[in-house]
Structure 1
């Protein structure tokens, strides 16, 4: 991969969706050259091409996912942190927005944080926050604990709020996930009956994945950004969910 292709890949990761014309303008080469670069990067599984655009690959790697829509996710995390009080014990599930929330809470609040994400636990190693990392089968790509042991550990701990990530939502499917084992962990958390809050950027709405998270009635709140489709917003509210829309300020 040459320096131009590295720049292209970074732009796609940072922006989430970039046109061929924009990439050509930013790199100073022709659109024909950009298409050749994109073909190569797609063949090497670095990104995915759509008509006239390049988009990131879906990835289980938390750090890679965090780079997608990072400014929006940071603002979502700041908003969600305001819902947590000093002294609370909260569960934070896997995912990039949740990792940013965990770091924000650890820096701002005196809390106990329970997680199945070894990535989140490692992220907080230099903070005063008390971290409880639940055990289980270690999923290397997602850096998360899953399986029957994890479900048992969840049953043994208590928390007032749970922050959950999703991979998709549609009106007829509800909230969905890409991974069966991680979906089972989420459903074990929901069975606890604590306040369950979905923290996600709006790109997940409209997508559908194989494994159900829910039903929706087990969630209490959705926190997302102002690019959420108005029809989806209305459907979520009709399901009885509180929907918090966080405005995106690009200058932040």
Structure 2
């Protein structure tokens, strides 16, 4: 993937849908070049072409999702890592920002629990942390572990802080996920953890996905980016939820 194609994904991450001619103008290339880029990115499963425009694909593949707004996600992950202290037991759920968070946390002396195989694979010999992969039913696309066995594993541990990803948030419906099985596990994590952090870029706000995770007031802290609209900032502040903007 070249730099121009990464820029296309970044623009789609912010605007959700962009016309071919607008992309050509913003990136100062021909519409033919943009169409070639869109064909490549569609073949990689990263976007969909619709009536002279492009929209981001709703993929669960973490490797692909990492490439969208990478620098922004890295900035969020670094801010989240500041909230973790040596000696804590933390749980990191699925999500592209959480992959980058896990890499940051490798520098700390903590016990990290995760329900995601891809995240567990980020660690290498020599890392300071102790990593525990919780069991469950394996989802190949997202590499997440879900189901009754995962809940049973969560029951056996005391979690200081949990970091969960989301697919959507709306004031009337709360945090939501496209996947009902992962939503169930995220909701259970919220119930069982002392402090819950939602970690997400601001593009997820204003969306409502199929399965509810929890309400805004059920979490301790939201870590997102500076583009979060004032409406949502005020909502979380009213509920007493800490807001960290990277």
Structure-2-length-normalised TM-score? 0.87
Q: Distance in 2 between matches of 1:146 and 1:87?
A: 27
The corresponding residue for 1:57 is 57
Residue deviations 1:195-216 (CA, integer Å, cap 9, x gap): 0000110000011101111133
Structure 2 vs 1, CA of residues 194 and 45 (structure 1 numbering), >3 Å: closer, same or farther?
A: same
What secondary structure, in the 3-state scheme, does the structure 1 residue paired with 2:224 have?
strand
Match of 1:204 in 2: 204
Output the aligned Cα RMSD.
2.6
Compute the displacement of 1:243 (Å).
1.2
State the alpha-carbon separation in 2 of the partners of residues 38 and 168 from structure 1: 25
Q: Answer yes or no: is the 8 Å Cα contact 1:92–1:113 preserved in 2.
A: yes
Question: Within 1, Cα distance between the matches of 2:34 and 2:113?
Answer: 45
The equivalent residue for 1:16 is 12
| Counterpart in the other structure of 1:110 | 109
Give SS of 1:186's match: helix
Q: Establish whether residue 83 from structure 1 lines up as the match of residue 79 from structure 2.
A: no
Q: Distance in 2 between matches of 1:233 and 1:106?
A: 31
- Asked if 2 retains the 8 angstrom alpha-carbon contact of 1:183 and 1:213, the reply is yes
Q: 1:193–1:218: 8 Å Cα contact kept in structure 2?
A: no
CA–CA distance in 1 between the matches of 2:81 and 2:175? 22
Distance, in Å, in 2 between the alignment partners of 1:140 and 1:77 is 24
* Range with greater deviation from structure 2 (196-205 or 47-56): 47-56
SS class of match (2:172): coil
Gaps of 5+ in 2: none
Deviation at 1:179, TM superposition (A): 0.4
Query: What residue is the counterpart of 1:249 in the other structure?
Result: none
Counterparts of 1:1-252 in structure 2, within 5 Å, are 9-16=5-12, 20-21=20-21, 23-24=23-24, 26=27, 28-29=29-30, 31=31, 34-35=34-35, 38=38, 46-49=46-49, 53-107=53-107, 109-126=108-125, 127-246=127-246
Shift of 1:172: 0.8
Contact 1:12–1:54 (Cα < 8 Å) also in 2: no
Q: 1:33 to 1:245 in 2, by over 3 A?
A: closer
Task: Verify the 8 A CA contact 2:168 2:209 in the aligned structure 1.
Answer: yes
Residue 191 of structure 1 deviates from its aligned partner by 1.4
Distance (Å, rounded) in 2 between the aligned partners of 1:111 and 1:73 = 22
Q: Secondary structure at the match of 1:176?
A: strand
Distance 1:118 1:41, change over 3 A: closer
Work out the number of aligned pairs and report it.
240
Q: Is the 8 A contact 1:16 1:69 kept in 2?
A: no
**Structure 1 residues not aligned, in runs of 5+:** 247-252
